[in-house]
Structure 1
């Protein structure tokens, strides 16, 4: 997947000091390595009650990084990153004999406890937000990185 460009009209263009950008990476803490090939969707909204608008998508690279997400439109106040982790864990389980078996994980359909992780955070103009995801088959943690 590649980042989808977001068309901006003259009213949507922000001055450089007002632009907001987002990047992320995923570390699979159960394997002690980056999680490559995880699809990431980016959505934005302009207020707590505003509807979400798709803004771009990508996938983590071999280092677990996703640094090609598009700059956010002017007036964005909230961002949602959605990580499709089910295919990653399914593939990893098929490749490893010591991975948790589906019949011991919980859900009967895929064996993945968290099929996706959605992170919502507030943003302010002129900032860059790096949001790392620490992931394992039974839990996850996020934080604002640098």
Structure 2
């Protein structure tokens, strides 16, 4: 299948993520980074058009948002699109692609630029994300199933 992109994909590592259906391991959709946007392209249905998701927040209006990494994973038995970038961590609902959770992951003063990069999904519904200050944050699910911040770790050599 030929994929039609809305714009040129960003020339960075981890600029593409494939959402796989378990257990068949068939690609359901592909997400591609385009600067501060993500293009989600459906793979299984021909008649469905791709969706273009802007990644921004009210606090990020001072500068253009940029996306560093995307990842599809299952949290609390639901597929979600996890995004790391200049606005921090963002988690989008799989079906409607609406923002469900956001965390700035900021460890520098407000006047300095920061970004989150380095996503990992661990067993037990945990998401880890690093940032440009060398901090790794751990997020997990609360009793109601929503995501919450759990811990912050800094490497000391």
Q: TM-score, normalised by structure 2?
A: 0.29
> Whose strand proportion is higher, 1 or 2?
2
Structure ID, larger Rg = 1
